[in-house]
């Protein structure tokens, strides 16, 4: 049986910039018809002929760029808005987590808000009471439960919002990037809850920018592009096609040397013509696991003979954190000159980055590192999924072991900031 069936769903938004927005404007329009003359009508199709079905008990992932119609589709499935054409059939009780804690009132206590929010989501008082302790427990609120939520931290609010929603026990859970909230520890907990949902045979429909999550969790994936279905089916194939396209598009967007924009610059005597990320088997991919081998292959073209170029790469987490920025000069690889086409590879034996999305920059410069021939600023993106035993908070996993040494006591550190020399680390001593 299918939990959700979408048949030819289209959604048109009509924007009328000249439509009166108030009685005042309406009145002015009546008095002065010339002001109404250019009644523009802009149509915008957020979704175009989207069809798919989600069998009960499976997990369905939706990927796509911002503005591709993902949220509109979720709102239609959740019955918040109506499609312009086509129809949606839903079998079972739906809980849509499109925004956590949207209904909280600051003056009410956590307890009162749980009942209020529960009833907004369609629960009876008895149903909320039945899972009340579970909610408080999951949200880690403890004694704060009888404090007005205006005194809560933002983290506590998010935890409470998620806790109420996941304790609803719906047949179909719809989530929109809700896992991108809260601290890392709580994200893990929420993810655990979602996995639990999937395990007990609930239907899940999720939108996520975390493509690895889509690959791991989903039975089917849908790629939306400008409101149309670009790909539907196996999540590994769909997410791969999507990321191929997204990286390609990012490269095309900055264009050739003529179109120097804010993400690519340089003097272009040497151009980077293509960048590939390769896995251990040498095939291009955008998906890795912690500890996998990674090769960044840079295809270049030197339009004239260039002496002693330096090739570099940068790995970034988000827009602000640079994790590493090695280059051929630091590594002691001196390239005498280049002319014509060639390839430079940066090979990482173990990619010890933790779960997440990473961005890659690529650069060619002269030997002083001051003159850039071509710079691609964070144009490529890849994702890392966790490998058991190599998980860590923060972006980097350092290969290491933990030891517990029972009964070994060091001196108790005195106060006043005085730090005694640490005792020698017990273990095999050199010599």
Partner 1 sequence: MLSAIPGSDRLAELYRYRELIYNLVARDLKVRYKNSVIGVFWSLLNPLVMSAIFTFVFTVLMPSGLPHYALFVLIGLLAWNWTVGAVVGGAQSIIAHGHLVKKVYFPTEVLPISTVVSNLINFLLALIPLFLVMLLSGIVPGPQLVLLPLAVLTQCLFLMGLALGLAALNVPFRDTAAVLDVLMLGWFFLTPVFYRVEDLAGGWSRLMYIVNPLASIIANYRVLLYYNTWPDPLFMLRTFTQALVVLAAGYLVFSLLRDRLPEEV
Where do contacts with partner 1 occur on this chain (CB under 8 A)?
A: 13, 20-24, 26, 75, 78-82, 94, 96, 98-99, 102-103, 105, 107-108, 112, 115-116, 119-125
Q: 124 vs 267, which CB is nearer to partner 1?
A: 124
Tell me if 206 sits within 8 A of 59, measured CB to CB: yes
DSSP 156: H
**Cβ 219 to partner 1 shortest distance, Å:** 25
DSSP 145: G
Q: 82 vs 253, which CB is nearer to partner 1?
A: 82
**Cβ 85 to partner 1 shortest distance, Å:** 14
**Cβ 36 to partner 1 shortest distance, Å:** 16
Minimal CA–CA distance to 244: which of 63, 16, 53?
Answer: 63
**Cβ 79 to partner 1 shortest distance, Å:** 5
**Cβ 81 to partner 1 shortest distance, Å:** 5
Tell me if 360 sits within 8 A of 296, measured CB to CB: yes
Q: 164 vs 313, which CB is nearer to partner 1?
A: 164
**Cβ 119 to partner 1 shortest distance, Å:** 4
**Cβ 421 to partner 1 shortest distance, Å:** 58
**Cβ 191 to partner 1 shortest distance, Å:** 22
Tell me if 307 sits within 8 A of 341, measured CB to CB: no
Q: 177 vs 377, which CB is nearer to partner 1?
A: 177
Q: Round to whole Å and give the CA distance between 60 and 324.
A: 35
**Cβ 75 to partner 1 shortest distance, Å:** 7
Q: Round to whole Å and give the CA distance between 87 and 284.
A: 39
Which contacts qualify for 80-86: CB closer than 8 Å, 24 or more apart? 81/11, 83/9, 83/10, 83/11, 83/47, 84/10, 84/11, 84/12, 85/8, 85/9, 85/10, 86/6, 86/7, 86/8, 86/9, 86/10, 86/49, 86/50, 86/51
Q: 18 vs 112, which CB is nearer to partner 1?
A: 112
How many other CB atoms are there within 10 angstroms of residue 149's CB atom? 22
Minimal CA–CA distance to 183: which of 394, 398, 396?
Answer: 394
Distances in whole angstroms, Cα of residue 398 to Cα of each of 92, 329, 361, 395: 46, 25, 23, 10
Q: 112 vs 234, which CB is nearer to partner 1?
A: 112
Residue by residue, DSSP assigns 245-264 as HHHHHHHHHH-STTS--TTE
Q: Round to whole Å and give the CA distance between 390 and 73.
A: 36
Q: 75 vs 159, which CB is nearer to partner 1?
A: 75
Q: 123 vs 379, which CB is nearer to partner 1?
A: 123
Q: 116 vs 278, which CB is nearer to partner 1?
A: 116
To 10 degrees, what angle do helices 110-120 and 154-166 make? Answer: 40
SS3 239: helix
Q: 97 vs 204, which CB is nearer to partner 1?
A: 97
**Cβ 19 to partner 1 shortest distance, Å:** 8
Tell me if 4 sits within 8 A of 172, measured CB to CB: yes
**Cβ 24 to partner 1 shortest distance, Å:** 6
How many other CB atoms are there within 10 angstroms of residue 269's CB atom? 18
Q: 105 vs 347, which CB is nearer to partner 1?
A: 105
**Helix-then-strand count for the chain, H and E:** 9, 18
């Amino acid at each position: 049986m299918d939990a959700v069936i979408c048949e030819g769903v289209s959604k048109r938004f009509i924007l009328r910039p000249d439509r009166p927005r108030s009685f005042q404007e309406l009145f002015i329009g009546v008095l002065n018809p010339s002001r109404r003359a250019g009644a523009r009508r802009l149509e915008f199709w957020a979704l175009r002929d989207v069809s798919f079905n989600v069998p009960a008990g499976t997990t369905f992932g939706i990927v796509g760029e911002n503005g591709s119609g993902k949220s509109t589709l979720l709102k239609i499935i959740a019955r918040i808005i109506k499609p312009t054409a086509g129809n949606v059939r839903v079998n079972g009780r739906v809980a849509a987590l499109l925004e956590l804690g949207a209904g909280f009132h600051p003056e009410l206590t956590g307890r009162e808000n749980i009942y209020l929010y529960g009833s907004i989501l369609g629960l009876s008082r008895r149903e909320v009471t039945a899972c009340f302790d579970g909610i408080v427990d999951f949200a880690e609120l403890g004694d704060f439960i009888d404090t007005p939520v205006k005194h809560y931290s933002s983290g506590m609010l998010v935890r409470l919002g998620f806790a109420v929603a996941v304790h609803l026990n719906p047949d179909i859970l719809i989530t929109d990037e809700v896992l991108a909230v809260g601290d890392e520890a709580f994200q893990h907990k929420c993810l655990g809850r979602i996995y639990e949902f999937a395990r007990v045979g609930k239907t899940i429909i999720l939108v996520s920018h975390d493509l690895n999550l889509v690959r791991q969790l989903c039975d089917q994936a849908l790629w939306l592009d400008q409101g149309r279905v670009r790909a539907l089916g196996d999540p590994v194939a769909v997410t791969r096609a999507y990321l191929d396209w997204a990286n390609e598009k990012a490269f095309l967007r900055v264009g050739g040397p003529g179109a120097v924009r804010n993400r690519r610059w340089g003097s272009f005597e040497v151009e980077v013509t293509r960048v590939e990320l390769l896995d251990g088997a040498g095939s291009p991919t955008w998906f890795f696991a912690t500890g996998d081998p990674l090769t960044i292959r840079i295809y270049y073209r030197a339009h004239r003979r260039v002496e002693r170029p330096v090739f570099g790469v940068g790995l970034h987490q988000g827009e602000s954190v640079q994790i590493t920025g090695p280059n051929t000069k630091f590594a002691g690889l001196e390239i005498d000159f280049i002319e014509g086409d060639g390839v430079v590879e940066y090979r990482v034996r173990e990619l010890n980055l933790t779960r997440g999305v990473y961005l890659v920059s690529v650069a060619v410069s002269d030997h002083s590192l001051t003159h850039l021939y071509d710079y691609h600023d964070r144009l490529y993106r890849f994702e890392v999924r966790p490998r058991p035993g190599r998980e860590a908070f923060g972006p980097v996993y350092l290969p290491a072991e933990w030891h517990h040494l029972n009964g070994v006591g060091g001196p108790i550190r005195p106060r006043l900031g005085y730090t005694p020399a640490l005792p020698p680390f017990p273990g095999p001593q050199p010599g």
